[in-house]
Amino acid sequence: MEKWLRNFFLYLSQNRMMTRLAKKYGLRLGAARFVAGSSLEEAVEAIKALNEKGLAVTVDYLGEFIDNKADTVERVNQCIKMIEVIRKEKLDAQLSVKLTSMGLDLSRELALENMKKILSKAEECQVFVTIDMEDYSRCQMTIDIFKELRQQYDYLGTVIQAYLYRAQQDIQDLKKLKPHLRLVKGAYKESPEVAFPVKKDVDENLIKLIKMHMLNGNYTAVASHDDRMIEETIKFVKEKNIPLSQFEFQMLYGIRPERQQELADKGYLMRVYLPYGTDWYGYFMRRLAERPANVWFVIKGLIKK
């Protein structure tokens, strides 16, 4: 049942007609639990509330299936505005960006041009930016663009997905760039030809990646809600005397907030991935696919209404 639900919601996440309907009808069907509003102003209020609790943030202006240049201009402007607000308001926040929202599916050159605009402002304001990883078909392009941009910009990181067979080699190839990497299990539906089909193997690979990247001496964001991943990380950093300044934990907005607070209270840097915007549908469907328990939160919300 769990596997069927995951496949069902991942299939829905790629439905363009549903994406358009979701934009039209707003944050309903429980999405508000995982998305911090439609506007920049709502996102800023959510960031401030988390900062007051001692939680850091990485903020994502949601957007998928961009099929025209005008939409990328709007998204670049929104990202630049958020960077400026982060500096002005002195928020403990970073920015996460998907290359598809920058026009990657239109052309590599457009995505690169748009990222340079964002990163120039980020360098000026000293706001860190992470290039999110998307599905396998865009993995190599994302890494290639990251490598190119990393030659010019310091406030830049990216993501490695543990369910991909290639993940360990990618970390080794990136090692010389001393990259800040967010390490995740992976949230897209992939073929067993390119990704581990069994959860146990994904878990084991994520643990290997965390240790490998930390031992390389590079900054590591452990992005998982899984207690085993968290405890393995804590145990490893204590054994190897890895300083608190070399790693952080990351979790998604609306998922396990009590655990997030617990880690922050223990002195670990805990960063919350906070998405906002009207283009929330694909993101929301992947959250439902990741954890069946999320579906019941939605159902309860609908019943209460």
Q: Is 227 a catalytic residue?
A: no
Q: Treating both helix axes as pointing N-terminal to C-terminal, what angle do 199-215 and 167-174 enclose, rounded to 10 degrees? A: 10
Interatomic CA distance for residues 150 and 57, integer angstroms = 22
Annotated catalytic residue: which of 6, 75, 105, 132? Answer: 132
Interatomic CA distance for residues 135 and 130, integer angstroms = 16
Annotated catalytic residue: which of 6, 150, 182, 287? Answer: 182
> Which of 59, 290, 293, 67 is closest to 188 using CA atoms?
290
Q: Is 182 a catalytic residue?
A: yes
Q: Treating both helix axes as pointing N-terminal to C-terminal, what angle do 281-290 and 292-304 enclose, rounded to 10 degrees? A: 120
Interatomic CA distance for residues 47 and 181, integer angstroms = 22
Residues labelled as active-site residues: 132, 182
